[in-house]
Amino acid sequence: MPSPVQVRCCDASGCRSAGSQGLRTALEGAREAAGLDPSQLTIKPVGCLRQCGSGPLVACDRPGRTRLFGGLSPELAGALITDALAADGEGDAAPTTASDPLAAHRIDLDGPFFALQRPVVLEGCGQVNPESIDDAIAFGTYAQLQRVLQELTPEQVRDEVRRSGLRGRGGAGYPTGLKWDTVALQPPGPRYVVCNADEGDPGAFMDRSVLESDPHRLIEGMAIAAYAVGAERGFVYVRAEYPLAIERLRLALQQARSRHLLGNHIHGTTFNLRLEVRVGAGAYVCGEETALLLSIQGQRGMPQPRPPFPAQSGLWGAPTLINNVETFTAVPAILRQGGDWYAAMGTEHSKGTKVFALSGAVVNTGLVEVPMGTPLRTVVEVIGGGVPDGSPIKAVQTGGPSGGCIPAERLDTPVDYESLVALGSMMGSGGMVVMGESTSMPEVARHFMGFSVNESCGKCIPCRAGTVQLAQLLDRFVERRATPEDMERLDALCQMVKVTSLCGLGQSAPNPVLSTLRWFRHEYEAACREPALCGTPGEVR
């Protein structure tokens, strides 16, 4: 039996980079030096504890009390062991003193960063050992898969997902239940289920954190989806830049097979499922579903015209269900609590919760999961703590290279699909970058356009050539050698690329430019000089 007293050490990529592995080794040494064994005090590696910018993070648990500490060094291992065993105080509000070596490292679990969150997708992150299927099962993972297979029909599962109002969390926001129905109702034959874990937006690390922290939860969600649509084979497509996520996902799949939670006759039923990992080379365009499918098939990842849509004709011409990590991971909670429970959170058209990767000029960087409709100001100023030096926020960029920049005066906007689109941005997969007053918005636009230039697959001319021309125009503004005519050309070229590109990469690449032109036009105007000083009017250098 594990001890009720435990120390949970974050072992996700962010904390590893801050030295968590050395800290855990020191904790094990301090436990031994104190004459304790694992039955008296458990030291448990866990996934992301969410406040990533304060790593390495450690939580000390005993019955009735949890304390969280950040920014720790191995030298504090003994003090952490002592704190875990201490019996003083009730709850997390137990007092600290100036002489306490951990006082400066204490993180308030009752503060807004944690108190205002609503973990659904992240409920197991930081709680379970991501490399232990026994720990996952003890936490409740796979319980809904067993119930679904033994008690519900595929139609009943799809009905629960429809009632939840869950929309695809990969960015497009397509109704998940409708997509599942489309796949399930295709003519008889093979079907596939695919998890898009090709998270490529700069500033986004939600999917990586879930894969590193709670991989069995994703497997359960995919298995439930496969049962609901009639698929017996599936793939998780992960970019190669996520080595720890890939390692843990492969281990989780191996463990699930060994417990007969994957394979043939799962839970004694007729349901069979094989899941495999496919590692992508890091091409951003492979986040687009038709390009992703080609990559899984061993071909060059390039977007294809639609229709037919993958739900009708996907992998090897068969109906294919594609959802991202966050979407699949929400499914077990929806089945456990009911679709109506999930639909009660959020707004009329954007149900449930959303996970954001909060970064940039903000005090509390990390993972944030809040109900849809939460004001943007609450996320960045209250949960995030605002700009570290106390200066005002200038803008918040959402949706990565496909999104846009939202000005400070619009921070009271609720975070949902429609509201962000109305401001010229989008939800995207959930990256959220906070910018301070010193940020140059033309430089921000150029940064994201340069990303789109590098990541374009080159299949269609508007994206292949148009993004290059846009990047060159933005160079002129950043270098303060633009002309008024360049302003007109910039806007017109953005509209052309947006309307005529083949896939979402090109169609959304102008968004950062258009949103900064809309809200920060004066910065572009200030960069314009007289045409005579800039060469031929309208020339793009």
Tens-place pLDDT, residues 61-76:
998 899 999 999 999 9
Distance CA 523, CA 541 (A): 20
Segment 380-402 mean pLDDT: 94
For residue 92, pLDDT beyond 60: no
Segment 291-298 mean pLDDT: 95
Segment 176-195 mean pLDDT: 97
Half-sphere exposure of 450 (CA within 13 A, CB side): 10
| Per-residue pLDDT, 88 | 53
Question: According to the 3-state scheme, what is the secondary structure of 253-270?
Answer: HHHHHHCCCCECCHHHCC
Tell me how crowded residue 347 is: count the other CB atoms within 10 A of its CB: 18
Distance CA 303, CA 42 (A): 49
Q: Is the dihedral of CA 206, 293, 464, 505 positive or negative?
A: negative
Please give the C-alpha separations between residue 367 and each of 2, 121, 131, 208, in angstroms, as whole numbers. Answer: 28, 11, 21, 11
Distance CA 80, CA 97 (A): 15
| Per-residue pLDDT, 95 | 52
Q: Is the peptide bond prior to 307 cis by the omega test (within 30 degrees of 0)?
A: yes
DSSP for 9-31, please give it: EE-SHHHHHTTHHHHHHHHHHHH
Distance CA 461, CA 473 (A): 17
For residue 99, pLDDT beyond 70: yes
Segment 435-443 mean pLDDT: 95
Segment 206-213 mean pLDDT: 95
Half-sphere exposure of 149 (CA within 13 A, CB side): 23
Helix (H) or strand (E) holding 504: helix 504-508
| Per-residue pLDDT, 97 | 59
Average pLDDT, the chain: 92
Segment 302-314 mean pLDDT: 93
Segment 499-513 mean pLDDT: 91
| Per-residue pLDDT, 391 | 94
Q: Between 136 and 454, whose confidence is greater? A: 136
- pLDDT band at residue 2 using 50, 70 and 90 as cut-offs: low
Distance CA 181, CA 179 (A): 5
Over residues 348-386, the pLDDT tens digits come to: 999 999 999 999 999 999 999 999 999 999 999 999 999
Segment 241-248 mean pLDDT: 96
Over residues 140-153, the pLDDT tens digits come to: 999 999 999 999 99
For residue 533, pLDDT beyond 70: no
- pLDDT band at residue 499 using 50, 70 and 90 as cut-offs: very high
Query: Is the pTM higher than 0.85?
Result: yes
Q: Between 293 and 93, whose confidence is greater? A: 293
Q: Which of 120-134, 387-401, 486-500 has the highest mean pLDDT?
A: 120-134
| Per-residue pLDDT, 527 | 87
| Per-residue pLDDT, 70 | 97
Pairing of strands 366-371, 353-360: antiparallel
Segment 15-44 mean pLDDT: 95
For the chain, percent of residues with pLDDT exceeding 70: 95
| Per-residue pLDDT, 96 | 54
Lowest mean pLDDT: which of 21-30, 252-261, 394-403?
Answer: 394-403
